[in-house]
């Protein structure tokens, strides 16, 4: 055992990934089978770690032992417990997202757009390609887009709310719930921005927006 030969005298060889299809886990492989009977070059990526191979006869003998049977049962229980815990954490995150309350001030269109333009200028004035904008220098659709972005990022708790869920189970669902709540409130408070809210919501749900939200989309 432990050689790096391409073949082994015990007969058929099985990779670690194939062994896992039989109910093995990494810990069970380490406990009952390692070191491998042979290794071979990774067929997909030659620079990757060599593929571990195990003699099938030895695998079958191990699987027939009471020790391995008990280990498999224990591993299955741990997996089930971990899965339930992950599901509970995901449910908690989604529930927290559903409790998010959005409130917005009611501004006139002129005040909103002027603040949105000023905010855009502040965000971008350190860029080499920065061009100072005014309400008169951009078209109506751009003003609506900037207005929605300004309301979303500055006048709601969008960024801090999204940040709460980073790295947690259910983060995608929580982000989607938060976005729907915010876009819905913006559309209800500012009916003239409803179509722009629908456009942005659809764009994000289709995963067509990338980059750092909050800066890249205020332009």
**pLDDT, greater one: 212 or 63:** 63
| Helical segments of 128-211, H only | 140-154, 158-164, 171-189, 194-205
Contact 8, 39 (CB under 8 A): no
Same domain, 104 and 152: yes
Q: Are residues 132 and 42 both part of a single domain?
A: no
Residue 106 shares a structural domain with residue 56: no
d(CA 12, CA 190): 69
Query: Which H or E element spans position 114?
Result: helix 109-124
Containing structural domain, residue 164: 97-205
Looking at the structure, tell me whether residues 193 and 124 fall in a common domain: yes
pTM, two decimals, is: 0.53
List, for residues 60-86, the tens digit of each pLDDT value: 999 999 998 898 888 888 777 767 776
Tens-digit pLDDT profile for residues 134-187: 889 999 999 999 999 999 989 887 788 777 777 777 788 888 888 888 899 999
Please indicate, yes or no, if residue 117 is contained in any of the structural domains. yes
On the CB side of 198, CA atoms within 13 Å amount to 6
Q: What is the pLDDT of residue 210?
A: 44
- How high is the pLDDT of residue 29? 93
Do 126 and 197 belong to one domain?
yes
Please list the residues that pair with 45 across neighbouring strands: none
Q: 113-133 pLDDT, tens per residue?
A: 999 999 999 887 777 777 888
Q: What is the pLDDT of residues 5-54, one digit of tens each?
A: 334 445 689 898 889 888 898 989 999 999 998 998 887 777 778 889 99
pLDDT score for 205:
76
Query: Quick check: is 216 in a domain?
Result: no
Does residue 102 sit in the same domain as residue 196? Answer: yes
């Amino acid at each position: 055992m432990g050689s790096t030969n391409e073949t082994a005298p015990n007969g058929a060889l099985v990779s670690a990934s194939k062994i896992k299809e039989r109910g093995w886990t990494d810990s069970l492989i380490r406990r009952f089978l390692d070191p491998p009977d042979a290794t071979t070059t990774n067929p997909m990526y030659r620079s990757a770690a060599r593929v571990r191979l195990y003699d099938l006869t030895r695998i079958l003998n191990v699987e027939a032992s009471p020790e391995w049977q008990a280990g498999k049962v224990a591993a299955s229980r741990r997996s089930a417990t971990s899965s339930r815990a992950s599901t509970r954490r995901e449910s908690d995150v989604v529930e927290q997202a559903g409790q998010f309350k959005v409130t917005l001030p009611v501004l006139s269109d002129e005040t909103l757009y002027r603040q949105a333009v000023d905010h855009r200028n502040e965000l971008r004035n350190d860029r080499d390609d920065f061009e100072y904008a005014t309400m008169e220098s951009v078209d109506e659709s751009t003003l609506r887009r900037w207005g929605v972005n300004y309301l979303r990022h500055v006048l709601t708790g969008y960024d801090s709310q999204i940040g709460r869920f980073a790295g947690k189970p259910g983060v995608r669902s929580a982000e989607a719930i938060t976005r729907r709540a915010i876009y819905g409130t913006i559309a209800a408070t500012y009916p003239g921005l409803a179509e722009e809210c629908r456009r942005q919501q659809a764009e994000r749900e289709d995963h067509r927006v990338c980059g750092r939200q909050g800066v890249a989309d205020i332009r």
